[in-house]
Amino acid sequence: MAPPEPPRITVVGSINMDVSARTPSLPAPGETVAGTELVLGRGGKGANQAVAAARAGGDVRFVGAVGDDAFAPELRASLQADGIDTDTLRTTPGASGVAVVTVDDAAENTIVVVAGANDSLSELGADDVAAIEGADVLLLQLEIPVPTVVAAAEAARRGATTVFLNPSPVRPVPDALLDVVDVLVVNESEHRALGDAVERAPHVVTTLGARGARHRGPDGVVTEVPAPRVQAIDTTGAGDAFTGALAVAWRDGPVAAVRRAVVGGALATTRAGIAAPTAAEIDHAAQDFA
C-alpha cells in the first residue's frame, strides 16, 4: 500500500531576518552586557511555522512578503531549502522584516520586531487564494495586517480548509476571524489575555511549556498531554515548532496530533536558535517518550 500523501499546508504570515545575540544574562533597562555569539537567520512566526510543518512532513506553500534589500534573497532561499513552495512569496519595495533577539544562558529570550515588508501584505491575490483554498490546513498568526488574516481565513472556509490561528503577538481577535477559526493555538499568557474569546473556537490547544500541552475539543472534553523531559538550551521558536508539527499531524486526530506536537516542540528547545526537528527525529523521540 502506498503511503498517504503529505498534508497540504499553506501558511500566510510573516518572514524576518533574525539577528540573534547570546549573553550570559538578559540586560536590564539601561544596562549593557557583553554578548558571546551573534547569528543571522530566518525568522518570523509565519516562516518558522512553515519550516516546522515542512520538516514534520507537510507539503508547504508560503504566502508572504520580503523587501528588495540584501536580506530578501537569503530569506527566500531559506524557505526553498526546506522544500517550501515560494511562488506566492512576493517582493515589495523597502526593507524586509527584521527581529532582534537576545538569548541568555537560562534559555530565556527577548525579541524586538520591525515588521518591514510584512506590513505590505495588505491584500491577497488570486494565486494566494488558490493556495489557501487548495490546502488541507491554513496556518495563520498575527504578525501581518489583521484584515489580511481575516481574508485568508474566510478563503479557507470557502475551500473547506481547516483554519489554525496562533494569535501572536496577542491582541483582540475580530469576531469575523473567530467565526471561521477551527483550531486556536495559544500559550498560557495568550489564553489569559484573550479571555472568553478562546471558548469560541471549536478546538483550543494551549501550550504549557515544559509541562506539555492541553486540548479542549468541541464537546468540552479536556486532555492534558505531558512533554518529554529534555535539556533545554534555547526556547526560541519552540512554540512555532509545536504548531507546525500539530498542523501536519491534525488528520490523525486532535489528541494524537498534540502528542506529536509536544515532542516536536520539546526537541526544538534542545538546539540553539530556531531549529525545528524533522519527521524522523520526532518519530524516534516519540517512541522513546511512549
List binding-site positions for ATP. Answer: 187, 207-212, 239-240
Q: Which of 240, 88, 106 is nearest to 152 (CA)?
A: 88
Q: Based on C-alpha coordinates, what's the Rg of the chain?
A: 18
- Is residue 262 within 8 A of residue 226, CB to CB? The reply is yes
59, 105, 240, 288: which one is catalytic? 240
**3-state class (DSSP) for residue 17:** strand
3-state secondary structure of 240: helix
d(CA 185, CA 187): 7
Q: Does residue 196 have an active-site annotation?
A: no
The residue whose grid cell reads 541568555 is 104
CA 283, distance to chain mean position in Å, is 20
User: Residues at the annotated binding site for substrate?
Assistant: 16-18, 44-48, 143, 240
Indicate the burial class of 21 (C-beta count within 10 angstroms; 0-12, 13-18, 19 or more): middle
Q: Tell me which residues are annotated as active site.
A: 240
